[in-house]
Amino acid sequence: MELLNIKREVERLSNILGKAEDCLDLRELSTKIQDLDQSIAQPTFWDNSLTAYQTLQEIKFLISNQKKYQQWRSILEDIKVALELLELSADEQLLQEAQSNLTQLQQELNTLEIQQLLSNTYDQNGAFLTITASSNSVDAQDWGSILLRMYHRWSIKQNYLVHVGEGFDADLTSIKYITLEIIGRYAYGYLKSEQGTHAKIMRLSHLKGDGKRHTCFANVVVSPILDESVEFEIPDKDLKITLPRCQRNVNRLETWVQLFHLPTGITVFCNLERNQLQNKEKALAILKSRLVAIALTQGVQLSQIQPQQIKSLSYKLIREYVLHPHKNVKDLRTKVQTTAVAEVLDGEIDLFIKAYLQQ
């Protein structure tokens, strides 16, 4: 990279860092950390373990932001000093060092730039992500498993905690329906961009082996993990609860629970937990999460949700993955596309997320 290009990139990154300073409000950040430290020192701090955990996560996040900003500012200043020296005298080693620092700063500030777009309600929350194959065909369920792997890989790269479910087989090659619980800051803000009839895949089916082109669909639904501050009850009369009638596997009890929400037609299936009571509670949490997400999308109160609009919003085709004869992934909303299909399916989906958020 020539010195002129490095200078231009340094200027761009300086602008991003300046915006970050405004968003972080470093003085306010220090005050928040001090307040949380005082809260932790209180003898009643551990009376509520969930609240204590959330407070510890919050202070960890704030301290991390403070340290990162200081680190970014230091790296940027080092690059500027290196550029001044390089203008006076060519130095290949110094140039490589400056380029290496620039690459590191680019990666970290690009992530920060995306986070600055996440200011809506619940954007900082974790997320429930459900994948549903469009049919019972082997191809459709194979496509569901590919999407599962893609989102699982993406989540791990973000250092998120991912809970897929009791008894989940990582080598599973076909999935009809599965929910991921993704725990980490901004998970919902990022992944809300993935909602819709997420993929249309066109390829030669390696399973059928008939040499024809096949199209498979899978739907992705994303909703925020809600905390205790969001309180509302779903009346029993609005729910139809289905439990396993008989145990097919004597070596492992089936503990799944399925809820059907009569007013909206939403169905939630849950086997994330070890026992049936926990699965029922988790299914209710997912259902509440879905209702909140739908209300946000429709711009209405929970009681004003329009059931007839749910399908049109949740099942819109948003992205095409072409795997044969040529390779291409195209987002139909932002028009962003790439031929790096293998990388995308390995979890490299940030280019699509950023483009969606920048709309």
pLDDT in tens, the chain (359 residues): 578 888 888 888 888 888 777 766 677 788 888 888 998 999 998 887 767 877 887 888 888 888 888 898 899 999 899 888 888 888 889 888 988 988 888 888 877 778 878 888 899 899 999 999 988 888 888 889 999 999 999 999 988 989 886 545 445 667 888 999 998 889 999 999 999 997 766 756 555 555 666 788 999 999 999 987 788 899 999 999 999 876 655 566 788 899 999 999 999 999 888 889 999 999 999 999 999 999 988 889 888 998 888 877 778 999 999 987 789 999 999 999 999 999 999 999 999 999 999 88
**Structural domain boundaries of the chain?**
3-115, 127-357
208 three-class SS:
coil
**Whole-number Cα distances in Å, 15 to 20, 56, 283:** 9, 31, 44
- Cα–Cα distance between 36 and 34 in angstroms, integer? 5
**Whole-number Cα distances in Å, 229 to 23, 38, 122, 124, 178:** 24, 22, 11, 14, 27
User: Quick one: tokens of 260?
Assistant: 């059907």
Q: Residue 179 pairs with which residues in a beta bridge? A: 130
Q: What are the tens digits of pLDDT across the range 212-265?
A: 667 889 999 999 999 877 888 999 999 999 998 766 555 667 888 999 999 999
- Cα–Cα distance between 122 and 105 in angstroms, integer? 28
Question: What was the pLDDT predicted at 167?
Answer: 44
- Cα–Cα distance between 103 and 105 in angstroms, integer? 5
Question: What was the pLDDT predicted at 334?
Answer: 96
Domain 3-115 has CATH 3.40.50.300: no
CATH architecture of 127-357: 2-Layer Sandwich (3.30)
Q: What is the pTM of this model?
A: 0.79
Domains 3-115 and 127-357 share a fold: no
Query: 265: left (phi > 0), else alpha (psi -120 to 50), else beta?
Result: left
Question: What was the pLDDT predicted at 172?
Answer: 60
- Cα–Cα distance between 86 and 80 in angstroms, integer? 10
Q: What is the largest CA-CA distance in the chain?
A: 80
Question: What was the pLDDT predicted at 98?
Answer: 87
